[in-house]
Amino acid sequence: MITSYISHSECMLHDMGPWHPESPHRISSINQQLERSALAQELQHYNARPATEEQIIRVHPRAHVLSLELSQPEEGAPLVQIDDDTLMGHQTMHAATMAAGAVVRGTEQVLKNQADNVFCAVRPPGHHAERVESMGFCFLNNVAIGVEHARHNFGIKKVAIIDFDVHHGNGTVDIYKDDPNVLVCSSFQHPYFPWRFANSEWDNIVNTPLNAGCNGPEFRKLVEDTWLPALQMHRPEMIFISAGFDAHKDDPMGEVNLVDDDFFWVTKMIMDVARVYCDGKIVSVLEGGYNLSALGSAAHKHIEALKGL
């Protein structure tokens, strides 16, 4: 199994301050874990390239992107607050376009048969970024930009997006809730941030709410009962994963009690579906995960599964 690992040091230029959990060290923690285990040597490593304006505005209107760019502070100026927890620095949009560009490059690698699957170790995350609103540490919806690249440049028609972050991917739902060709399956602690789109009002949105305290066996049963039938009905030509690791029991941002093996299990389940319907085509993209040790170990298990180990 050829697994591509796409990242870029410039994704770490976005910095919301030393107190903020969405820190540049998140990518370092994954890299260090991979190096310690020697799994890094089993992967094909590539640098991200920044997404182009054309690729971004398929998802976000040009006026919204321009507004974000104009909101960036000058170098050395104080951070600019977007919402209660989301701040912009001088290099934020550069990092955001690099994160989205990693997903575009990963999409191309999979669809050109240069890799079986891809993990994009990028930040800022993207699944809370709605079509015209940035929030929840997110500025651009990285996964959606990759999905639209696959649809517009490679003729992919039916896509599945699977999101196992502890927070609901409201941005992805906002973008695709009226598009029957994109199935969105999302597990998340409920009730919890972002407090919207948690009710499954659309046939192509499969929400799997988790109670605080939910453990691995409960999570696995809920996922099997809700996602598998929908995926089998949808028969996707490609699968994108919003891979959030903040449902880990040690993560400070949520109250779901998953362990590393649960992330391995859910990844293998997604791979089984992908083998049946889309020749294994998967692009996985980092979302949450804020305990650095837990993030490193859980992401390692996820990548192990992608690699077929």
Active site residues: 128
- Cα gap 210→266, rounded to integer Å: 15
- Closest Cα to residue 51, out of 23, 2, 10, 83? 10
List alpha helices for the chain, DSSP H. Answer: 25-37, 53-56, 62-71, 92-111, 142-154, 170-176, 216-234, 260-278, 292-307
Q: Which two tokens stand for residue 233?
A: 């009905």
Strand partners, 189: 210
Per the structure block, which two tokens stand in for 48? Answer: 């991200």
* Residue 119 near residue 302 (C-beta atoms within 8 A): yes
How is 139-204 classified by DSSP, letter by letter? SS-HHHHHHHHHHHHH----EEEEE--SS--HHHHHHHTT-TTEEEEEEEESS-TT-SS-S--STT
* Beta strands 44-47 and 3-7, pairing class: parallel
The CA distance from 244 to 248, in Å, is 9
Please provide the size of the chain in residues: 309
